[in-house]
Amino acid sequence: GIQVEQSPPDLILQEGANSTLRCNFSDSVNNLQWFHQNPWGQLINLFYIPSGTKQNGRLSATTVATERYSLLYISSSQTTDSGVYFCAVGIYIQGAQKLVFGQGTRLTINP
Amino acid sequence: GAGVSQSPSNKVTEKGKDVELRCDPISGHTALYWYRQSLGQGLEFLIYFQGNSAPDKSGLPSDRFSAERTGGSVSTLTIQRTQQEDSAVYLCASSFRTDYNEQFFGPGTRLTVL
């Protein structure tokens, strides 16, 4: 099956720093989503980005589908950005889109 | 509703008991998905529904797991004769359609089997 690899597994930064999280996937995909899992376990949608570039405030994402990777950029980090960031790729199974998740990047922002 | 809701938020049960987990999707979303998050396996797909139909049940971990959806809305995931390895957070998601569409997740049910 498809493999989704995220790097780095852990990232510790000071408040105000910028960061880049990477997601590599091993096969063609129909969709790609980025999530932030907050300390209470809720998965928060960040981007739905099968290709191209999107921006939302301090966050932006780029997916290069032909090269099978996606990047999530966080600028001017805040302590509330801490948590685990998941990349998930969508593949078709019998007419529906199943999400396959990477193992996540745990981001810690220190004040 | 405004988002996907799940109940209960936490469930502690004894090994061998049956449990039912409930998911209420976003109003108007026709597709509903169940995932499981555990320490050893990460986030894994279990089953999806298009309307009330579940075309592919191969993601369910064992025949002790079953799911149903009624009225194209609420879904129930049932685990019979629970085992300790069933302990995990069970997440439900919904999307407007099953194809090429963004999935939105509920807060999850944390299941602990003693």
Give strand pairing partners of A105: A85
Within 10 Å of residue A111's Cβ, how many Cβ atoms?
A: 7
Residues A43-49: what's their mean pLDDT?
Answer: 96
Say yes or no for a CB contact (<8 Å) between B105 and A42: yes
Which pair of tokens denotes residue B29? 């979303």
Close Cβ partners of A92 (under 8 Å, ≥ 6 residues apart): A30, A98, B99
Coil vs helix vs strand at B107: coil
The whole-number pLDDT of residue A111 equals: 95
Say yes or no for a CB contact (<8 Å) between A33 and B103: yes
The whole-number pLDDT of residue B1 equals: 52
Which pair of tokens denotes residue B87? 């302990």
Q: What is the DSSP string of B41-53?
A: TEEEEEEEEETTB
Q: B3-57 pLDDT, tens per residue?
A: 999 999 999 999 999 999 999 999 989 899 999 999 877 899 999 998 888 888 8
Q: Which domains does chain B have, with CATH numbers?
A: 5-103 (2.60.40.10)
Residues A40-55: what's their mean pLDDT?
Answer: 95
Q: Is the peptide bond before B8 cis (omega within 30 degrees of 0)?
A: yes
The whole-number pLDDT of residue A18 equals: 97
Q: What is the DSSP letter of B87?
A: -
The CA distance from A61 to the nearest CA of chain B, in Å, is 16
Return the number of CB contacts < 8 Å for A and B.
64
- Chain A positions touching B104 (Cβ under 8 A) are 45
Cα separation, A99 vs A91, in Å, equals 6
Q: Which residue has the higher pLDDT, A110 or A93?
A: A110
The whole-number pLDDT of residue A21 equals: 98
Q: Which domains does chain A have, with CATH numbers?
A: 4-110 (2.60.40.10)
The CA distance from A33 to the nearest CA of chain B, in Å, is 8
- Chain A positions touching B35 (Cβ under 8 A) are 99
The CA distance from A8 to the nearest CA of chain B, in Å, is 16
The whole-number pLDDT of residue B6 equals: 98
Coil vs helix vs strand at A6: strand
- The residue of B9, B32, B98, B104 whose CB has the most chain A CBs within 10 angstroms, and thus the best one to mutate to test that interface, is B98
Report yes or no: B88 at the A interface, CB cutoff 8 Å: no
Q: Is the peptide bond before A8 cis (omega within 30 degrees of 0)?
A: yes
Q: B83-113 pLDDT, tens per residue?
A: 999 999 999 999 987 666 899 999 999 999 9
* Amino acid identity at A101: F
The CA distance from A56 to the nearest CA of chain B, in Å, is 16
Coil vs helix vs strand at A66: helix
Q: What φ, ψ does residue B86 adopt, rounded to 5°? A: -80, -10
Report yes or no: B63 at the A interface, CB cutoff 8 Å: no
A7 CB-side CA count, 13 A: 4
